[in-house]
Chains A and B, each alone.
Chain A
Amino acid sequence: MLIGGILVITCKNPVHSALALIVTLLAQASIYLMLYAPFVAGVQIILYAGGIMVLFLFVIMLVSIDRSVRERQFNSQWVVGIIAATALGGLFIAVYTKGKNIFPEHALPVVENDNTQKIAIMLYGQYMFAFEIASLLLLVAIIGAVVMAKKKI
């Protein structure tokens, strides 16, 4: 997954980056399976790797012409970017080495067979309002994307 992530940010061709991102998303779905979350893994594969990345590939084919592959790849502020990312990485290392003892020793090995049912009960029961708002958000996103990409409004 980390190799896929590194390939996303370093490839010259955006199509190669998109394929590396698909590899990263599939690896992340397998890590979700390791965490006993099969429903989230399924949603990730169907929605993310099968929907969003296909959308990205369509737009790459519409937009990226051959000229952009031969240009300079990293922008003019890359030194400051690397310094900021190193500072953030240092912060993460400091937090994780100081607070290492909070987490329990072993991962809980509970195998449950009704993960999807429990998520569905929680989604339609406790998080019903958020569910409706999410559908409204998707409606707004559809209208927004269509309006942004039209030739004349």
Chain B
Amino acid sequence: MESMLHITTLHYLVLGAALFLLGVIGVLTRRNVVIVLMSIELILNAVNLNLVAFSRMWGGLHGQVFAIFVITDAAAEAAVGLGILIAFFRNKETVNIDEVNLLKW
């Protein structure tokens, strides 16, 4: 029992970084717009995990309050993003990002 692994702050930060990487890969790689929006939510969750881990390390609760604001902001942005997606789908009948090329030269 004396070689028990202590879970330090660094472990939470590495987990947050791994989630952030998965979100970035999802945003850069997928063609479906809905999955890109879900990868953005993954990125926001990774940031929240970092915030709360640092809040635990320093002892104050500022990180947790900021995490609540980030969750609120993610809700608002998801709603508006999905509204844009619905408006786009009504025009083009596809959920492909490659088809969003009306402003292309």
Q: Which residues of A contact B (CB under 8 A)?
A: 1-2, 5-6, 8-9, 11, 14, 17-18, 21, 24-25, 28, 31-32, 34-37, 39-40, 43-44, 47-48, 51-52, 55-56, 59-60, 62-64, 68, 71-78, 80-82, 84-85, 88-89, 92, 96, 100, 103-108, 110, 115, 118-119, 122-123, 127, 130, 134, 137-138, 140-142, 144-149, 151
CB of A6 within 8 A of CB of B22, answer yes
Kindly report which residue of chain A lies nearest to residue B13, judged by CB atoms. Answer: A96
* Contact status B26-A56, CB under 8 Å: no
Contact across chains for B38 and A119 when beta carbons are under 8 A apart: no
B98 CB–A CB distance under 8 Å: yes
The answer to whether B80 touches A145, judged by C-beta atoms less than 8 angstroms apart, is yes
Given contacts A63-B89, A103-B10, contact A81 B21 (CB under 8 A): no
Pairs of residues from A and B, 4 with the lowest C-beta to C-beta distance, nearest first: A81-B28, A148-B83, A141-B76, A9-B26
